[in-house]
Amino acid sequence: RTKDDEGKWQRDMSIYVVPVEAGKSRALFYWAGATVWWMPTWLIHSWSNRFFNTDTWLHNAERVARFDPSVHAQNRKQNGHDEHVGQGYVYGSRSDLSVVSFRKWWST
């Protein structure tokens, strides 16, 4: 967002993220008032990948730290947990509910 001459916030870019299957989403960008027709596609993709992958690495590192069997199997056993807990981990969010509901409806 940026401020215009009157000090009001203007939306410059919108990002719509649509879950397409378990663990995968498609990101759609929209730049309000700006066109990037002159920009090569590979440059746009490299920018968006850099933008999105910042949290992806952190999320993956956290998942590995919690659920990597080679690192934490012994700790889980000592604490009374099943050694396989968390290995089928999928990071879901409330935005996935509509897709999951649709798939259940479609398959019945």
Q: Quick check: pTM over 0.75?
A: no
**Helix axes of 41-67 and 69-78: crossing angle, nearest 10 degrees:** 30
pLDDT tens sequence across 73-86: 655 566 555 555 55
Residue 40 has pLDDT above 70, yes or no: yes
Predicted confidence at residue 49, as pLDDT, reads 66
Domain range list for the chain: 2-107
Mean residue pLDDT of the chain comes to: 70
pLDDT tens sequence across 47-95: 776 666 666 666 776 776 666 666 556 555 665 555 555 555 555 667 6
* Cβ proximity of 25 and 44 under 8 Å: no
What are the backbone dihedrals phi and psi of residue 94, each rounded to the nearest 5 degrees, phi first? Answer: -65, -25
